[in-house]
């Protein structure tokens, strides 16, 4: 926590952005009864994790994403930092965008595009962050892996429904 006090504005921006995105996305998630019923009725592959796994995974990923943003915002300015922050920002927007598209609009095709875009932005963040802050890059790897899995899962749900 002492590290966060070195740049309180970056801490506020990164953690606040992730919190705002997850709060906005949470307005459309499966915890809303109508969306939970709709999601339960979809044909899904056998490797679909239980709902509790999604909540646990995203809690960890949100924390890592916020910390990645903080570390990148605290790093010296450079083209790689700008690129990494752009990818980070797009990934953060995906936290709000995916639930809105998938659960809110019930657009399986468009939600697949959102997960694909998040995968590209998360991978781009990791690649650019390696030149800026290696711990930030390492913290982004779990998001790349999870969103890669989510893209596969989204494609299969779209195909089956």
pTM of this structure: 0.92
Give 18-41 pLDDT, tens digit per residue. 999 999 999 998 989 999 999 999
Q: Which residues contact 69 (CB under 8 A, 6 or more apart)?
A: 10, 13, 14, 15, 17, 18, 85, 88, 92
H or E element at residue 67: helix 51-74
Token output for 78:
């450079």
Residue 4 has pLDDT above 70, yes or no: no
Give 94-122 pLDDT, tens digit per residue. 999 999 999 999 999 999 999 999 999 99
């Amino acid at each position: 926590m002492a590290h966060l006090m070195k740049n309180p504005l970056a801490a506020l921006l990164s953690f606040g952005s992730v919190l705002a995105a997850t709060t906005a996305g949470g307005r459309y998630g499966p915890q809303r009864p109508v969306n939970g019923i709709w999601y339960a009725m979809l044909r899904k592959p056998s490797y679909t994790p239980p709902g509790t796994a999604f909540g646990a995974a995203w809690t960890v990923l949100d924390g890592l994403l916020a910390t990645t943003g903080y570390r990148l915002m605290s790093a010296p300015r450079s083209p790689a930092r700008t690129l990494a922050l752009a990818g980070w920002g797009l990934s953060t927007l995906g936290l709000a965008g995916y639930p809105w598209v998938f659960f809110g609009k019930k657009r399986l095709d468009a939600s697949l595009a959102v997960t694909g875009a998040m995968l590209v932005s998360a991978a781009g963040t990791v690649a650019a962050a390696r030149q800026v802050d290696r711990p930030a890059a390492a913290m982004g790897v779990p998001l790349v892996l999870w969103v890669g899995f989510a893209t596969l899962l989204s494609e299969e749900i779209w195909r089956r429904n």
